[in-house]
Amino acid sequence: MTFNTDGTYTSVRNEVYSATFGVGAACLSATGVTKTCPQEESALNASLPVLAGVTYSPFTCSPVLGGGCSCTVGITDSNYQESGTYTTVGSMLTETPSTGPSAGTPVPLTYCVQGGSALTIVGSTQSVSMGSMGSIGLTGVSALTKQ
The pLDDT, as a whole number, for residue 53 is 79
- Among the candidates 55, 76, 97, a domain finishes at 76
Q: Are residue 107 and residue 60 in the same domain, yes or no? A: no
Span 26-35, mean pLDDT? 86
pTM over 0.85: no
Q: Model confidence over 68-114: pLDDT tens digits?
A: 999 988 888 877 788 999 998 888 888 898 987 678 888 888 877 77
Residue 109 sits in which domain range?
2-13+80-145
Most confident of 15-19, 23-27, 126-130: 23-27
Q: Are residue 56 and residue 98 in the same domain, yes or no? A: no
Q: Model confidence over 115-124: pLDDT tens digits?
A: 766 666 665 5
SS (H, E, C) the chain: CEECCCCEEEEEEEEEEEEEEEECHHHHCCCCCCCCHHHHHHHHHHCCCCCCCEEEEEEEEEECCCCCEEEEEEEEEEEEEEEEEEEEECCEEEEEECCCCCCCCCEEEEEEEECCCEEEEEEEEEEEECHHHCEEEEEEEEEEECC
Span 43-65, mean pLDDT? 87
Q: Are residue 21 and residue 72 in the same domain, yes or no? A: yes
